[in-house]
Amino acid sequence: MNQVVRYLTKSRFKLAAECPRKLYYTGKKDYLDRSLDDSFLAALAEGGYQVGELACLIHPGGIRVDDLDHQVALAKTAELLQQDEVTIFEAAIAAGNLFVRVDVLRKSGTRIEVIEVKAKSYNAKKDGDFKGAKGQLKSDFLPYLQDVAFQRYVAVAALPGHQVHAFLMLVDKEQSSTVDGLNQRFKVVVEGRRLKVQVTPGTTPESLGQCLLAKVPVDGQVDMILSSTLAVGPADLRPFRAAVDAFALAYSQDTPLLPLPSSACGGCQFKAPSWPLAEQPKSGFHECWSQAFNWGQRNSI
């Protein structure tokens, strides 16, 4: 029986970039995880699924790889990538124990485009190249840029001989819909804990009118991230690649990294309102702060 690979996926990388310790808590049923409900509701509220489906429609001829099994999805993607020209939705790519699903992947010869689709507004005049006055990447776009940076990093490692380019596809605030009731063509349906979008039959790219999405090249911003550092532990800043390796190793071995207590911990999704009782789900927040400050249940956290 083949051993299941504990992949560092892009969602787990995102958690590790926020706080490396979160890698240990994610996916464990005995730990409280408020994000399971938060992300589900946010997806409904923000229209992320509709925007994702819209991005697919403006790439006609694309092939969807929607298999949940990682190995099946990897095999199907690899087969599709044998074509000289192909567009793949939810392409599965792995390098070692790193794994990503790319929203939209376009291949033309040896050129690969990795496109991350987000239901976030973008104004070219205001947001520009996502950099602040001092050249730093803007904090409200940084998680999205780190996301696509990780995807490009994995794709480059997995697809030698190809030139991989990164893009963000965002909602263009400078455009207005030229079609009445456009949102009604994308109906979100709930199937258990999964959301899917049902597109009105007959909907074509031409019937959508003015394109409402902006495809923004971000290779320069990704280069900045790949040449920067990430925290792996207290006073432990490592180059991006070394940090990713550390995250992947810790997750594959199910080993908790050292806690990084900060003011950001107040919003941790693994935080219980108070120290949990024996029969309640564990609180990652309380474990972190207990270890960091040698506090016990009687201490106020």
Query: Mean pLDDT throughout 237-261?
Result: 95
- For residue range 130-186, list pLDDT tens digits in order: 999 899 999 999 999 999 999 999 999 999 999 999 999 998 888 776 666 666 666
Residue 23 counted as domain residue: yes
Size of the chain in residues: 301
The whole-number pLDDT of residue 194 equals 65
Q: Supply the DSSP symbol for 211.
A: -
Residue 40 counted as domain residue: no
Write out the two tokens for 289: 């702060």
Choose the final residue of a domain: 198, 227, 256.
227
- For residue range 182-232, list pLDDT tens digits in order: 666 667 667 665 666 667 776 776 666 677 899 999 999 999 999 999 999
The whole-number pLDDT of residue 24 equals 95
Residue 39 counted as domain residue: no
User: Residue 63 forms beta bridges with which residues?
Assistant: 88
Nearest to 248 by CA among 70, 74, 13: 13
Choose the final residue of a domain: 208, 227, 246.
227
- For residue range 278-288, list pLDDT tens digits in order: 888 999 999 99
The whole-number pLDDT of residue 45 equals 47
What confidence tier does 1 reach under pLDDT thresholds 50, 70, 90?
Answer: very low
Helix (H, G, I), strand (E, B) or coil at 109: coil
> Total domain count for the chain?
2
In degrees, rounded to 5, the angle at the alpha carbon of residue 172 between the alpha carbons of residues 200 and 199 is 10
Same domain, 77 and 156: yes
Same domain, 145 and 57: yes
Cβ-contact 211, 171 below 8 angstroms: no
What confidence tier does 258 reach under pLDDT thresholds 50, 70, 90?
Answer: very high
Instruction: Let me know how many helices (H) and strands (E) the chain has, helices first.
Output: 10, 10
Same domain, 241 and 264: yes
Choose the final residue of a domain: 166, 197, 227.
227
Rounded to two decimals, the pTM is 0.88
179 contacts: CB under 8 Å, gap ≥ 6: 207, 208, 209, 210
Residue 41 counted as domain residue: no
Same domain, 223 and 246: no
Cβ-contact 74, 137 below 8 angstroms: no
Same domain, 132 and 279: no
Same domain, 88 and 218: yes
Helix (H, G, I), strand (E, B) or coil at 116: strand
Q: Could you list the residue range(s) of the whole structural domain that residue 248 is in?
A: 1-6+15-33+229-301
- For residue range 68-114, list pLDDT tens digits in order: 899 999 999 999 999 999 999 999 999 999 999 999 999 999 999 99
